[in-house]
Structure 1
Amino acid sequence: MDADGPRQQAAREATSWLIALQEDPDDPNLRRQFEVWRSASSLNDAVWQSTQRVLEIGRSIPPRPSDEWPTYLSSRERSASARTPRRRRWIVATLGMAAAAAIALTVGPSVLQRLEADHLTSTAELRDIGLDDGSTVMLSARSAIAVSGTAGERQVTLVEGEAFFQVRPDPARPFRVISGPVRTTVVGTRFDVRRDSWGVFVGVEEGQVEVEASQFGTKERLQAGEAIRIEFNGKVARSADQLTVAAWRKGQLVAQNMSLQEAVDQLRRFYSGAIIMTDGSLGSRRVTGIYNLADPEEALRAIGHAHGAKVRRVTSWMLLISAE
């Protein structure tokens, strides 16, 4: 086991105990079992104290506009560093960095987005963008694009999130969307591209597109009503259902045999807070249904209820998802 193994295991166990104790705070048997675990090692005790500290910080944080999160998190990190003795700082850093990363990834645009993007949106915000060539982009919530091009081609990089493209035909200048290792090329069409932590989804509403991920040896041509998902591990899955293409434009999450992890990733962009999955095994469960993006917390609870997961609100802005 590597050096971080015991720490990570203790942190996972501390999170499980936190959830259990919040659910049954008056259960004496549960409390006794917890104390046995806590006293079993100094690492368990130290990680538990750090977990409590992170939770207390979380409870004290008021809801904030997404643009304020990078500055706020930096100030909290500096404050915590100044107060924490060096001998315990590695524990606080382990959990504090994890919490900060979860917040930064699920609450507001990342620093990388701000550096690379020409256009970006905040939580639950949709924006129409007109490009110089006459094409249009509808940017989904918490998403970002960078626009570039040459005399021979037009190019948009999807830095994060999701966007729907309506491309003005120009055979002399193909239109390309770059999303990580995946390149989508068109002449004139209407299509959707989504990039999340696991891969890239492309769906076509009108016309046809060519989708290529050369590092995986993938090259596919899609017609109207067809879609493809290319995961960053090389796995490829095609589907055919026009209802799922950019359903977010109508305020809907349409899931058709979608992984629970992918569904959560989409809901995060519409939720003004952090959604944290405490049990990674939940992510592979399959979700089918239509959910309201205007109420992402209720949508998340409906998904959890149908698929053996429980959603708990631990602060005014943080939701935890765990197995029942």
Structure 2
Amino acid sequence: MTRSGEDEDRVTTEAARWLVALEDDPDDAALRVRFDAWLAASPANAAAWANTSDIYDMMGRVPPAHAGHWEAPLPHPLPPPRTSLRRRFAAGVVAAALAACLALVVMPALMLRMQADYRTTTAELRSIRLADGSTVRLGADSAIAVTLAHGERGVRLLKGEAVFEVTADPDRPFRVAAGEVETTVVGTAFEVRMNGEAVSVAVREGQVRVDYASAAPPVSERLSAGDWVQVGWTGHVERGGVPPGDVAAWLQGQIVARDRPMAEVVDELRRYYGGMIVLADGALGRERVTGVYNVADPVAALRAIAGAHGGSVRRISPWLLVVSGG
């Protein structure tokens, strides 16, 4: 495991322990002071606490992160348990249940690290030269696995987005898989993006074929320079055109949106923000967005996008933004 992976697992474990401690002794002011200090110590701690809180919220109540949000004591407190055994048992149950739920979050990240040959973190871009001479430009918070052996040229996009500049080889087509959607080329430049429940492919130069063989009916689309297609996991297909120079605009530090759902653009901006972005209004997320946004300032981009549709962006903590309707 990489050092970054070990650090991520460590802070996740710490967040789980804090949750159990706060549930076990919610009236301990000194404990709250220590927790606040830990929470403010780093963005990683805040992100781990936010993830842990989201998971525990599905199980019940999350302890408020700050003393100002504590509930007033009950006018007639319940009698204390007869022994501390029940309290320790309850804490153990919380810890066990939380550990099981955390596995749903930690395990996918761990599996991604195990599968990926190349990864990027928040706001990081990376250029990768493959053994066949092709180049992959990996977008922020993205990951790929590469197969270049036994006459095959293949890349699996595990997360995020990438641009492929493929060296021509008629005897060995280059295949990019994203979920069940496969793009096949001989030599060209194109972008593939995993986008929630869909995969998008846009061509900058040359031609590609996009297949989703397991859809009913099967999907097969041929694209040329300036074409894009979005294939949903259900087999739903949307197709359109884009200036070739706008394909993968993130390589120039921009997001170019043309009549895209706000939720989709917000999801792309998440790759450039060091904390969490919560889109709290489903109707707002369905609004259509057109514009050019600078990924170097994702907060300003969010405010511009939301404000154009009567929404707002609230900073709940240094690492948590909530986008909601006005």
Normalised to the residue count of structure 1, the TM-score between the two structures is 0.72
- Which residue of structure 2 lines up, in the alignment, with residue 78 of structure 1? 17
- Which residue of structure 2 lines up, in the alignment, with residue 250 of structure 1? 252
Question: What percentage of residue pairs aligned between the two structures are identical?
Answer: 46
The verdict on how the C-alpha distance between 1:301 and 1:80 changes in structure 2, with shifts beyond 3 A counting, is same
- Which residue of structure 2 lines up, in the alignment, with residue 113 of structure 1? 112
Counterparts of 1:259 and 1:137 in 2: how far apart (Å)? 27
Counterparts of 1:93 and 1:184 in 2: how far apart (Å)? 41
The answer as to whether partners of 2:204 and 2:245 remain within 8 angstroms in 1 is no
Counterparts of 1:70 and 1:274 in 2: how far apart (Å)? 18
Trace 1:49-88 onto structure 2 (pairs within 5 A).
Answer: 68-84=7-23
Deviation by residue 1:282-316 (Cα, 9 ceiling, x = unmatched): 22211100000110010010000112321110000
SS of equivalent to 1:314: strand
- Which residue of structure 2 lines up, in the alignment, with residue 25 of structure 1? none
Structure 1 residue 214: deviation in Å? 1.4
SS of equivalent to 2:172: coil
- Please, what is the CA RMSD of the aligned residues? 2.5
Deviation by residue 1:248-293 (Cα, 9 ceiling, x = unmatched): 0000000001111110111000111100111222222111000001
- Which residue of structure 2 lines up, in the alignment, with residue 267 of structure 1? 269
Structure 1 residue 211: deviation in Å? 0.3
- Which residue of structure 1 lines up, in the alignment, with residue 31 of structure 2? none
Counterparts of 1:188 and 1:198 in 2: how far apart (Å)? 28
Structure 1 residue 66: deviation in Å? 8.9
The verdict on how the C-alpha distance between 1:202 and 1:322 changes in structure 2, with shifts beyond 3 A counting, is same
SS of equivalent to 1:215: coil
- Which residue of structure 2 lines up, in the alignment, with residue 146 of structure 1? 145
Counterparts of 1:208 and 1:261 in 2: how far apart (Å)? 29
- Which residue of structure 1 lines up, in the alignment, with residue 279 of structure 2? 277
Amino acid across the alignment from 1:281: A
Structure 1 residue 171: deviation in Å? 1.1
SS of equivalent to 1:233: coil
Amino acid across the alignment from 1:283: G
What are structure 1's unaligned runs of at least 5 residues?
A: 1-64
Counterparts of 2:117 and 2:56 in 1: how far apart (Å)? 37
Aligned length: 251
SS of equivalent to 2:11: helix
Counterparts of 1:129 and 1:157 in 2: how far apart (Å)? 14
SS of equivalent to 2:137: strand
Counterparts of 2:118 and 2:234 in 1: how far apart (Å)? 28
Amino acid across the alignment from 1:110: A
Counterparts of 1:66 and 1:319 in 2: how far apart (Å)? 25
Counterparts of 1:244 and 1:278 in 2: how far apart (Å)? 30
User: 2:210 matched to 1:192?
Assistant: no
Counterparts of 2:211 and 2:270 in 1: how far apart (Å)? 27
Amino acid across the alignment from 1:314: I
Amino acid across the alignment from 1:302: A
Q: Name the stretch that deviates more: 149-158 or 294-303.
A: 149-158
The answer as to whether partners of 2:131 and 2:148 remain within 8 angstroms in 1 is no
SS of equivalent to 1:75: helix
Normalised to the residue count of structure 2, the TM-score between the two structures is 0.71
Structure 1 residue 72: deviation in Å? 1.0
Counterparts of 1:266 and 1:156 in 2: how far apart (Å)? 21
- Which residue of structure 2 lines up, in the alignment, with residue 32 of structure 1? none
Which of 286, 309, 312 is the matching residue for 2:311? Answer: 309
Deviation by residue 1:8-55 (Cα, 9 ceiling, x = unmatched): xxxxxxxxxxxxxxxxxxxxxxxxxxxxxxxxxxxxxxxxxxxxxxxx
The answer as to whether partners of 1:243 and 1:254 remain within 8 angstroms in 2 is no
What are structure 2's unaligned runs of at least 5 residues?
A: 25-54, 63-97
- Which residue of structure 1 lines up, in the alignment, with residue 225 of structure 2? 224
Structure 1 residue 82: deviation in Å? 4.7
Counterparts of 2:137 and 2:16 in 1: how far apart (Å)? 35
- Which residue of structure 2 lines up, in the alignment, with residue 29 of structure 1? none
Counterparts of 1:179 and 1:117 in 2: how far apart (Å)? 13
Deviation by residue 1:199-248 (Cα, 9 ceiling, x = unmatched): 11101001000001112221000001111111223221111112431000
- Which residue of structure 2 lines up, in the alignment, with residue 43 of structure 1? none
Amino acid across the alignment from 2:180: P
SS of equivalent to 1:125: coil
Amino acid across the alignment from 1:263: V
Q: Name the stretch that deviates more: 279-288 or 153-162.
A: 279-288
Counterparts of 1:196 and 1:145 in 2: how far apart (Å)? 15
